[in-house]
Structure 1
């Protein structure tokens, strides 16, 4: 039996090929897919009607890089350098996480995303201390109701990397669903070349893309890592360059020619001292570029903050070269361009008929959003998480009237706080 949802009376913003305000039109969803967008769509007997009066209707946001497990150590080091992050967060706090702590962090972190209108998340998970840790992380994502790409980063000795990556792929991702898998590689800038080769080769064997921290450790490291990938023919595997900050224009052309994509975390990159976000340079080179919260240890976890940061930092480039970057560009990065980065542009990221109905309704009946002359400008520059009224993932309502509807949020938070206390105070 067909399930129909009609979203009526909202101001609709679509994002493909570029963000545009369609005006007050309706959206019809059939069996979880966008079926039609247009004015005055006819009633459908038995349809659920969502009244979007006073709301902006747009595609759900896409977070292309987040260490979701860190929800339990939020703001543990708000003013931190990258070296201190490696020592304090990854060296001390991460190993204290039991599987149940990873579950608590991933569930709360995924729900935080949904609450903020993020309907798709790449969870770059580098706490695979045991198979139980991995299973707990994936289970939490599945139970949250978010659309997630699980970035599996093997945490043990290289001798078991291929075997364990295959196990995760074959046992946890053998069926279709909202949670899929990529290989989160440590890569040639962080680990030895032999291990990096194995990471890309197992990804190719399993038909999985790769996401890796590449280009964020200085110009010399960036060029050395890129040359290694090229010399070994590894860029034939779709690869996302996370924190791609230090490449020359010529190197960016090579990445673009290889079909690479990029993910930027503008707040985190500036706060940790990694470098100035290369937003405009990446996109001008033809590299699809998305946004990522990265870590709530020292950065916000919502895409409103990141869109705003990307917009202002690009327009504020010292050479003035970023003044052509617009709020529409920022919204595109948070939606359809982010979907491109994840290889999901044919599935999500816009309201094109046939795509999954990942949809967000934002309130405009507030003092901070009322009387906005440009809805796209208001989404990027004025909205925050309090504006997120209703969220759908695959046509399923996961947030309605400002409240998540499928989880006992108080219980989730209680578990998270208990876990956080254990981790911080062993």
Structure 2
């Protein structure tokens, strides 16, 4: 049983782990219930998935009886630094969000507030089964802010893509982005870098041209809010990107709500990806999520919590909302969308969106061992006939028993292992008091 486990310290340090007796769900190429099979982890990688795997001498065994074993979730777009201003603006629209959060509250964040928010936000992800995060970080007001944001991601133990959005004085984008890459991302590790571009629909074409060309020069993917500001803006921005050949650089379209089907096919032809934030897109009045249309066009599409100022921060809520809204489209247009589609978006497809489809997102042997165990010994999960449906429709953060990133156990028995949570929460409370001005 899950409660009868080996010591946490041993599990956290072991180089070989065998997960036995769980019901295993894989997600590549499509979600499938493999049944009661075992998963072997050697070092940082999954090496074998199958029935009755023997425990090698010295291996630690996790008895997953009463649990579902599946890949960790992937959040494809999250403003992680906003953990200290959770629920500060639950009922405003997008313009109100820009005014209250970006104009008023963001500049109040000191470098240490970026650290507190990013650390707490990343640990919140791990606690809820999110093992990979695209941190869309647009509170980069100084080199110190950037350093603390990256330091917090590394300290958390999560796998992350740091989406750097330059926030300094005009004219400094290229030099500072190069400095960030050279200073913080010179060696391989769990945290890598992307360029979080403001793009042609927010800051105009001259800045956007510099952003994409710089990303191409530095070999960085681009993540940008594109297509969420109305049909004319979406068409004009897409035409600009196409005319300048900018979509040769891997690009993720965030909030791609207002493109026609023909425009989506053009985007798909470039190899671009998309990120959907189903709760925020509805709550902020940005638009109705285009989940099914994006995927029908052949665009790999992931899910995103976006911001906890007005959205839940867990992937269970995002999967449920995406499933509900897609199936609720007028005239039954989305009834082909299934719980399996929602889970794929939250795992393997999300990994493709952030450029890590060959690294994480499924249990394929050779991939990094980023996975989670969900408890089923509770009334809300008991006797589920379809384990995938149970993950999407019934599970919540309280079901997340064990989480592993790169073969390292970061949560066990429902508890995060490597951080003093009272200290983390105290720092976040200090940030919340310091930055919120009524």
> What TM-score do you get using the length of structure 2 for normalisation?
0.96
Is the CA contact 1:2–1:30 (under 8 Å) kept in the aligned structure 2? no
Q: Distance in 2 between matches of 1:378 and 1:355?
A: 25
CA offsets per residue over residues 235-268 of structure 1, 9 Å max, x none?
Answer: 0000000000110000000000011100000000
- Higher deviation after alignment, 297-306 or 416-425: 416-425
Deviation at 1:349, TM superposition (A): 0.3
Structure 1 distance, partners of 2:209, 2:116, is 33
CA distance in 1, matches of 2:166, 2:433: 26
Aligned-partner Cα distance in 2 for 1:146–1:417: 22
Match of 1:350 among 344, 348, 362: 362
Which whole-Å deviations, capped at 9, do the CAs of 1:309-350 have from their partners, x for residues lacking one?
000000000131100000000000000000010110100000
Distance 2:223 2:99 in 1: 23
Aligned equivalents of 1:11, 1:338: Cα separation in 2: 22
CA distance in 1, matches of 2:318, 2:331: 22
Gaps of 5+ in 2: 1-12
1:198 aligns with 2:210: yes
Q: CA–CA distance in 2 between the matches of 1:280 and 1:325?
A: 7
Task: Determine if contact 2:44/2:369 at 8 Å carries over to the other structure.
Answer: yes
Secondary structure at 2:419 match in 1: coil
Change (3 A) 1:215 1:316: same
Give a deviation string over 1:49-87, Cα, whole Å, max 9, x none. Answer: 111000000000000000000000000010011111010
Secondary structure (helix, strand or coil) at the match of 2:49 reads: strand
Secondary structure of the structure 2 residue equivalent to 1:373 = coil
Q: Does the Cα contact within 8 Å between 2:227 and 2:258 map onto a contact in 1?
A: yes
2:229 matches 1:217: yes
Deviation (angstroms), 1:415 = 0.8
In structure 2, how many angstroms separate the alpha carbons of the residues matched to 1:38 and 1:293? 33
Q: Is the CA contact 1:66–1:295 (under 8 Å) kept in the aligned structure 2?
A: yes
1:244 aligns with 2:256: yes
Aligned counterpart in structure 2 of residue 257 of structure 1, from 269, 288, 293: 269
**Is the 8 Å Cα contact of residues 55 and 61 (structure 2) preserved in structure 1?**
no
Query: Aligned to 2:178, what secondary structure does the other structure show?
Result: helix
1:180-217: CA deviation from partner (whole Å, max 9, x where unpaired): 00000000000021110010011000001000000001
Deviations 1:372-416 (CA, angstroms, capped at 9, x unpaired): 000000000000000000000000000000000000111100110
Local SS of the residue matching 2:425:
helix
> Which of residues 282, 294, 310 is equivalent to 1:298?
310
Aligned residue for 2:71? 59
Find the counterpart in structure 2 of residue 112 from structure 1. Answer: 124
Aligned partner of 2:386 in structure 1 is 374
1:207 aligned partner: 219
Matched, 1:309 2:321: yes
The CA distance in 2 between the partners of 1:205 and 1:159, in whole Å, is 17
Residue equivalent to 1:392: 404
SS in 2 for 1:319: helix
1:419 aligns with 2:414: no
**d(CA) in 1 for partners of 2:177 and 2:187?**
16
1:130-169 matches, cutoff 5 A: 130-169=142-181
Query: C-alpha distance in 2, partners of 1:298/1:344?
Result: 28
Structure 1: segments with no counterpart, 5+ residues: none
* C-alpha contact 1:68 1:110 (8 A) present in aligned 2: yes
1:321 lines up with 2:326 in the alignment: no
Structure 1 residue runs of 4+, over 6 Å off?
none
1:24-68 CA deviation, whole Å, 9 max, x = no partner?
Answer: 000000111000000000121000111100000000000000000
Distance 1:238 1:419 in 2: 35
Secondary structure of the residue aligned to 2:171 is helix
Deviation at residue 2 of structure 1 after TM alignment: 8.8
Deviation at 1:158, TM superposition (A): 3.3
1:68-112, Cα deviation, whole Å (9 max, x unpaired): 000000000100111110100000000000000010000000000
Question: What is the RMSD computed on CA atoms of the aligned residues?
Answer: 1.0
Cα shift at 1:218 = 0.6
Residue of structure 1 equivalent to 2:58: 46
Report if the CA contact (8 A) 2:300-2:353 is conserved.
yes
Is contact 1:289–1:341 with CA below 8 Å preserved after alignment? yes
Q: Secondary structure at 1:159's aligned position in 2? A: coil
SS of the counterpart of 1:107? helix
C-alpha displacement of 1:419: 1.0
- Distance between the aligned counterparts of 2:264 and 2:170, measured in 1? 30
- Tell me the residue number matched to 2:104: 92
Contact 1:158 1:195 in 2 (8 A): no
Alpha-carbon deviation of 1:157? 2.9
Aligned residues, how many?
426
Report the Cα offset of residue 425 of structure 1: 4.1
Give CA deviations for 1:125-161 in whole Å, capped at 9, x if unaligned: 0001000000000000000000000000000233110
Higher mean displacement: 156-165 or 300-309 = 156-165
> What is the rounded CA distance, in whole Å, between the counterparts of 2:235 and 2:380 in structure 1?
45
Q: Normalising to structure 1: TM-score of the pair? A: 0.99
